[in-house]
Amino acid sequence: MPMNGYSDESTDPSYIPSNAAGGEHLVEKYFKSLQLIDSFWKRWTQDYLNLLRERNNEQHKNARGAAQRAPVIGEYVLVSEADQPRGCWKIAKIIDCIKSSDGEIRSAEIEYLNGFKTRRAVNHLYPLEEGAANLDISNIVNDYPFVNAEQP
């Protein structure tokens, strides 16, 4: 310590400059930023995400990925099964479209690759690809015998 009782500011570890003595403004800025983040998050979850959900519901009235168009006889489809993961759904061919009393096609008669025939609701049929009605997939069954091997 110098003789006059004052320490050299640059070498005194306990020295606090006058402009840094009050950190209250930093604490205030911190809490203000937390309020802004909370406000943004509330608006994000309440307004924007709800808007996206409503828009999605308007655009996609059917089950996720279900055909928005009428099925075509001869078209190959994946048949959804509630107890099976999507990768295990079986392939079938639409052999007849069944109209309801109001004239809409609501179900179809399908034939699995093993020859088993049944009816399924259209919202459980997922087209393999647009324009696949003329596709011959018999070679798939011959090359991959495990495809639809068991009866549904």
Q: Per-block average pLDDT, block size 10, for the chain (152 residues)?
A: 56 63 76 88 69 55 57 85 78 91 90 92 78 57 49 44
> Does residue 11 fall inside a structural domain?
no
Look at residue 52 in the predicted model and tell me its pLDDT.
Answer: 57
Q: Which residue has the tokens 């509630």?
A: 82
> Does residue 37 fall inside a structural domain?
yes
Q: Tell me: do 126 and 85 sit in the same domain.
A: yes
CATH number at residue 98: 2.30.30
What residues make up the domain containing 42? 22-59
Q: Tell me: do 86 and 129 sit in the same domain.
A: yes
Q: Which residue has the tokens 């205030």?
A: 28
> What is the number of structural domains in the chain?
2
> Does residue 2 fall inside a structural domain?
no
Structure tokens at 48: 């924007």
